[in-house]
């Protein structure tokens, strides 16, 4: 990452702490002092850049969370202005959020995911009052690990993501699974230190990657290589669906499905924001799919539906249309009957 001319940290005193406000760290020294400011409590650091609009959005989210969680210290750090801190903590994109307790990193979140940020803040803030190692803390972690393991029929716990593996073993594992057309979801153990350490004990398997099928541990890279060599891997792991079947399943996931940029909580374009407002005012339940998170779906659905833009609204598996169509239906009074499948 590029950075400006070095600053004199002596000229940047740590600001007085104010509950409910977001602090700013302008140097490595300020960063370290802010981490130590509240012993044992949660410190959330937003690595941001002024040129990234999603960072500005997440700064607003941080400000709101700071007022809600007065016991948590929230800090903004301009990633390119303090490159030594960014490099030390592996910050390669913005926005990135790091979570600290007692000056030790306990979690990480990459990207502008407001609901996930809120969830992580709430979970870590709540656990600050629970001594580590207690029975209740272990039970909560085990329940969370079980939920993650069963989040998909085939779950890979790895370093990085399938698109950007962050170790050679994880890269090899992804290559083998992709070569065999295995349908799998993944979890980046670098994003959550609690999961990274807890899963080793939970599964009694000390290294990563770890592959689970139907909630049961298959093993690491060596085991998967053995299964591949013996011809058993195809029988053990579920096959990936072709794109058309996948799109059909997504479209029929709920009676009313909205494919959009972003989510209900944070629309990431003006058209998506407008359609969310209209949908919310109908009182009809609906689910959303963020096409920015899946390039295959984003491009494939345009061809499948013969509709070139987003958002796209489907009712009972049938395309209703985009924002203009939804607006017309609303103005004519037909939207509610359409959403309820009465037309």
Q: Write down the mean pLDDT value for the chain.
A: 85
Question: Which of the listed residues 195, 218, 236 is the one where a domain comes to its end?
Answer: 236
Region of 278 on the Ramachandran plot (φ > 0 left; ψ -120 to 50 alpha; else beta): alpha
Q: Which residues pair with 99 in a beta bridge?
A: 44, 107
Residue 333 lies in domain: 244-339
Question: Which of the listed residues 236, 268, 288 is the one where a domain comes to its end?
Answer: 236
Band of residue 309 on the pLDDT scale cut at 50, 70, 90: very high
Q: What is the pLDDT of residues 197-216, one digit of tens each?
A: 889 989 999 899 999 998 99
CA distance 90 to 75: 17
214 found inside a domain: yes
Question: Which of the listed residues 205, 236, 267 is the one where a domain comes to its end?
Answer: 236
1 found inside a domain: no
Give the CA distances from residue 101 to residues 24, 42, 295, in Å, rounded to whole numbers and listed in that order.
18, 5, 36
Number of domains in the chain: 3
Whether 69 and 154 map to the same domain: the answer is: no
Region of 219 on the Ramachandran plot (φ > 0 left; ψ -120 to 50 alpha; else beta): left
**132 has a pLDDT exceeding 50:** no
- SS3 assignment, position 198: helix
CATH number at residue 312: 3.40.30.10
Average pLDDT over residues 267-273: 89
Cα torsion angle, 125, 130, 133, 137, sign: negative
Region of 77 on the Ramachandran plot (φ > 0 left; ψ -120 to 50 alpha; else beta): beta
Task: Report the predicted TM-score, pTM, of the whole model to 2 decimal places.
Answer: 0.42
Average pLDDT over residues 91-105: 89
332 found inside a domain: yes
Whether 248 and 227 map to the same domain: the answer is: no
Whether 196 and 269 map to the same domain: the answer is: no
CA distance 25 to 20: 16
2 found inside a domain: no
């Amino acid at each position: 990452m590029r950075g400006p001319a070095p600053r004199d940290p002596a000229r940047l005193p740590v600001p007085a702490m104010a509950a409910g406000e977001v602090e700013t760290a302008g140097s490595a020294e300020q960063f370290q002092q802010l981490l130590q400011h509240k012993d044992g409590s949660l410190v959330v650091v937003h690595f941001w850049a002024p040129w990234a609009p999603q960072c500005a959005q997440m700064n607003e989210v941080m400000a709101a969370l700071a007022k809600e969680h007065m016991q948590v210290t929230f800090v903004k750090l301009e990633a390119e202005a303090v490159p030594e801190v960014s490099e030390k903590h592996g910050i390669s994109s913005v926005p990135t959020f790091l979570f600290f307790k007692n000056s030790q990193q306990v979690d990480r979140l990459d990207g502008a995911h407001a609901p996930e940020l809120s969830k992580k803040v709430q979970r870590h803030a709540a656990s600050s009052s629970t001594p580590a190692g207690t029975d209740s803390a272990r039970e909560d972690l085990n329940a969370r690990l079980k939920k993650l393991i069963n989040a998909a029929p085939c779950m890979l716990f790895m370093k990085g993501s399938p698109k950007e593996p962050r170790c050679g073993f994880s890269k090899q594992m992804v290559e083998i699974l992709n070569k065999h057309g295995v349908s799998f979801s993944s979890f980046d153990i670098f994003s959550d230190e609690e999961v990274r350490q807890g899963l080793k004990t939970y599964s009694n398997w000390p290294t990563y990657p770890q592959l689970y099928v139907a909630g049961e541990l298959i093993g690491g890279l060596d085991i998967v290589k053995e299964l591949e060599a013996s011809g058993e891997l195809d029988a053990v792991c579920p096959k990936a669906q072709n794109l058309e079947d996948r799109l059909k399943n997504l479209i029929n996931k709920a009676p009313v499905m909205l494919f959009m940029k972003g989510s209900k909580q944070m629309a990431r374009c003006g058209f998506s924001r407008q359609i969310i407002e209209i949908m919310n005012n109908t009182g009809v339940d609906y689910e959303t799919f963020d096409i920015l998170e899946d390039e295959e779906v984003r491009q494939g659905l345009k061809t499948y539906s013969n509709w070139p833009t987003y958002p796209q609204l489907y009712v009972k598996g049938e395309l209703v249309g985009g924002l203009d169509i939804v607006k017309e239906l609303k103005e004519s009074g037909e939207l509610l009957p359409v959403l309820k499948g009465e037309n």
